[in-house]
Amino acid sequence: MDPMEQDMMQVENSKYTLNEEQENKEIVRHYRALLRSLRPKIKKGDKELLRTAFEMATNAHKTMRRKSGEPYIFHPIAVAMICVDEIGLGVRSTICALLHDTVEDTDITLDDIKSEFGNEIAKIVDGLTKISTVMSANSSQQAENFKKILLTLTDDPRVILIKLADRLHNMRTLDSMKQEKQLKIASETIWVYSPLAHRMGLYSIKTELEDLSMKFLEPDTYREIAKKLSETKRERTKYINEFVRPLKDKLIQSGFDFEIYGRPKSIHSIWNKIKKKGVSFEEVYDLFAIRVILDVPLEMEKEVCWKVYSLITDEYLPSPERLRDWLSNPKSNGYEALHTTVMGPQGKWVEVQIRTKRMNEIAEKGLAAHFKYKEGTQTEDRFDKWFVQIREALSNQQEEGIDFLQDFKTSFLAEEIYVYTPKGDVKMLPINSTALDFAFNIHSVIGSKCIGAKVNHKLVPLGHKLRSGDQIEIITSNKQKPNEDWLSIVVTAKAKNSIKDSLREEKKIISEEGKYTLQRKLEGIGAVYNPYNVDQVMNFYKLHSQLDLLYKIATKNIDLKELKTFQVLGDKIEVPKPVNVPTEINHETHAAKSPSKKDAELIIFGESSDQIKYALAKCCNPIPGDDVFGFVSTGKGLIIHRTTCPNATQLLANYGHRVVKTKWAKNKEISFLTGLSIIGLDDVGVVNKITSIISGELKINIAALTIESKEGLFQGTIKVYVHDKEELETLVDRIKSLNGIQQVNRFDTETV
């Protein structure tokens, strides 16, 4: 059970009024529903095993309740149901899901499970127990231990599939948690679990995890988009029917066995489009996708999908740049489909996805569906290759935990591209990979000697970004060797690890010179070269390792003249004490001072706020009224961030133990600097209209104003002092009401 589940669980104090008999009936009803879902997969002897697992879990969790008040056993049954219905797992996985919290939370041991169900089930339950222990780590050790989760994944993928089911059910029942827990758990979900679900091919689960995370991380935006989707549903349904009608007729005339329907895009993906493209909800053209699902024999799949593509593009004109052929080159997570975007009625672009029934099941249930379709050996091989790459990345133990997790996300959880060697062999790389990544993918020796590449027979530099379909030839030289700059060029874990290994070896050789220099300097002040003295010098220069110290000395990046100020006591040296210069933080620089009772505008829970100094984060510039949290940063004290800050997800997911519950108190005496960007039609007097609203009507002070006009449009940035979010929202609404204003957005970056 991870920390979230510990918080979701309470013992005995039930909010429910159901008596024990009614509860037991309800538990049995849930269990029978699980058996009905599992019926097609149950073989001789399985029913008895399932019954034993159910009874073992029910008895073990007997006294436990979740935060909602319901008996805890509902959770393992719900997780098992997700495994069966939504992931397509079988009897063994169901038994593991029922027992997934027993070893950690109850008196049941792994040996009990082994003697009752055998080694295979015990091993999976052990893996699930280890993951829970890892995810409850209270430091960046959580990211470091993430390696253990991935080792378990490569050992038996069912472990991570059951864990994803566990996380999905916890996200579905997150409403009963306190807000700070909701933020941490939702951030962890979007940071680790959602990309992992995507990479395992579980698109429905990935989408739901993203939407549920957004519901807690950005509730206002989530509600706004959900409301607009609801309001436009009738209009959308009418358009889908109009779009589908001629296609249906053509497919029937051609004798295809098919389903065709439209489905809305997820709230999270719509929000991503709004942010990426800088458009409003009304301007997002693909709020839905049309899906055509064909029932055809395996050997005819490709041919029929292309025939249907031809029928669709005869009716509607396609966008050539938006064709995605995952029939010829399935994704590494097994996804196969043909995607095209066509111009529909009323001048609207519409995405159409063409799949067969088999492909659709793989798209919905990912890895689990591969075991059902034995013919899909090619895609299973790609999964195996992916696992091999993960094992290679895990073999490097030098990586810092957080760095490792970031590298893992860019290397293994990103979309991929397919490129070719000069001989025509296909290689799979994550999106944004460079020619240098390709070289290291071939072999670490080739990567280390790479001086350039030819992409499609044209010479390109090492940092050239590759695209699907590129053919690459690597040019090498024996005189070449990796340097620090290469780390900013590559994105794959394999390339980064190889470069770091090479740099480390180079560093060791150079640092030998630094060792002799430091030895001479220490002897010059009457001290000896020993581990204690080297540590003292290392700490004085604020370095993390002796290797860094000696390397910086050798490369003359450290001035050893300061050693003269050290005091020698016998053989040992004493570092001079640093002088503390008090720094005063004030609101004029939009950082907060230590609050007094008169002007305290933040309430920091669990601490005496009179004694806490805090500053407002420059990455998101929070103002009163924003949802915020405090983050204890190393050396800078408490920093206040907005929960929608670009850095919030990473901080909450990886450093949850350093987060302090914080909220604003009412205060109208202090102004906070914030910024707005405005886009509109370049009209006479537009600047005057904007400034008269800000200064004249709303009496808000302007700190800076810049306007640039180009080809009939103007783009402006305004920095203003406001008292709180309410005042800022009033200002935004007033500016938006002016004729010709298209967009008014608050800054989210360090531009204020």
Higher pLDDT, 369 or 588: 369
How far is 122 from 96, CA to CA, in rounded Å?
8
pLDDT at 337: 92
Sheet containing 450-455: order of strands: 458-460, 450-455, 472-476
Q: Comparing C-alpha atoms, which of 146, 137, 130 is closest to residue 193? A: 146
> What are the two backbone dihedrals, phi and then psi, of residue 520, each rounded to the nearest 5 degrees?
-65, -40
Give the pLDDT confidence of 214-262 residue by residue, as tens digits: 999 889 889 998 998 888 888 888 999 999 999 999 999 999 999 999 8
How far is 697 from 699, CA to CA, in rounded Å?
6
8-22, 351-365, 449-463, 654-668: which range is least confident on average?
A: 8-22
Mean pLDDT to the nearest integer, 496-519? 85
Q: Which residue has the tokens 């004030």?
A: 586
377-386, 418-427, 493-502: which range is least confident on average?
A: 377-386
pLDDT at 210: 92
Q: Is the pLDDT reported for residue 152 higher than 60? A: no
How far is 497 from 147, CA to CA, in rounded Å?
15
pLDDT grade for 276, boundaries at 50, 70 and 90: confident
Q: Which residue has the tokens 């402006």?
A: 716
What CATH number is given for 3-177 in this structure?
Answer: 1.10.3210.10
Q: Is the pLDDT reported for residue 427 higher than 50? A: yes
Q: Is the pLDDT reported for residue 285 higher than 90? A: no
pLDDT grade for 600, boundaries at 50, 70 and 90: very low
Which pairs with CB-CB distance under 8 Å and at least 24 residues apart come from 193-196?
193/164, 193/167, 195/409, 195/413, 196/160, 196/164, 196/413
Assign 715 to helix, strand or coil: strand
> What are the two backbone dihedrals, phi and then psi, of residue 277, each rounded to the nearest 5 degrees?
-95, -5
C-beta separation of 517 from 553 below 8 A:
yes
How far is 419 from 468, CA to CA, in rounded Å?
6
Task: State how beta strands 472-476 and 450-455 pair.
Answer: antiparallel
Is residue 351 part of the annotated active site? The answer reads: no
Domain range annotation of the chain? 3-177, 227-378, 501-574, 587-664, 672-746
Q: Is the pLDDT reported for residue 144 higher than 60? A: no
Question: Which tokens is 662 given?
Answer: 């914080």
Task: Give the relative orientation of helices 233-253 and 301-315 as an angle to the nearest 10 degrees.
Answer: 120
197-206, 276-285, 732-741: which range is least confident on average?
A: 276-285
Q: Is the pLDDT reported for residue 704 higher than 70? A: yes
C-beta separation of 140 from 150 below 8 A:
no
Is residue 104 part of the annotated active site? The answer reads: yes
The catalytically annotated residue of 2, 70, 101, 104 is 104
pLDDT at 612: 64
Give the pLDDT confidence of 94-143 residue by residue, as tens digits: 999 999 888 887 888 888 898 888 888 888 888 887 666 555 544 344 44
Is it true that domain 672-746 has CATH number 3.30.70.260?
yes
> What are the two backbone dihedrals, phi and then psi, of residue 10, each rounded to the nearest 5 degrees?
-135, 155
The catalytically annotated residue of 2, 105, 399, 601 is 105
pLDDT at 750: 52
C-beta separation of 223 from 247 below 8 A:
no
- CA 669, distance to chain mean position in Å, is 39
pLDDT at 354: 96
How far is 2 from 8, CA to CA, in rounded Å?
10
How far is 363 from 423, CA to CA, in rounded Å?
32
C-beta separation of 264 from 211 below 8 A:
no
Is the pTM value of this prediction over 0.85? no
Q: Is the pLDDT reported for residue 738 higher than 90? A: no
Higher pLDDT, 169 or 147: 169
Kindly report the average pLDDT of the chain as a whole number.
79
CATH architecture designation of domain 227-378: 2-Layer Sandwich (3.30)
User: Cα dihedral sign for 527, 529, 535, 537?
Assistant: positive
pLDDT grade for 661, boundaries at 50, 70 and 90: confident
How far is 34 from 195, CA to CA, in rounded Å?
28
How far is 2 from 653, CA to CA, in rounded Å?
13
pLDDT at 432: 87
Mean pLDDT to the nearest integer, 512-530? 82
Mean pLDDT to the nearest integer, 55-84? 87
Which pairs with CB-CB distance under 8 Å and at least 24 residues apart come from 720-723?
720/673, 720/674, 720/675, 720/676, 720/694, 721/671, 721/672, 721/673, 722/623, 722/671, 722/672, 722/674, 723/624, 723/667, 723/668, 723/670, 723/671, 723/672
Mean pLDDT to the nearest integer, 336-362? 90
CA dist list (Å): 577 to 17, 564, 574:
64, 14, 9
- What would the DSSP string read from start to end of 626-649? S-EEEEEETTTEEEEEETT-TTHH
Q: Is the pLDDT reported for residue 385 higher than 70? A: no
Beta-carbon count within 10 A of 332 CB:
22
- Express as a percent the part of the chain with pLDDT over 90: 18
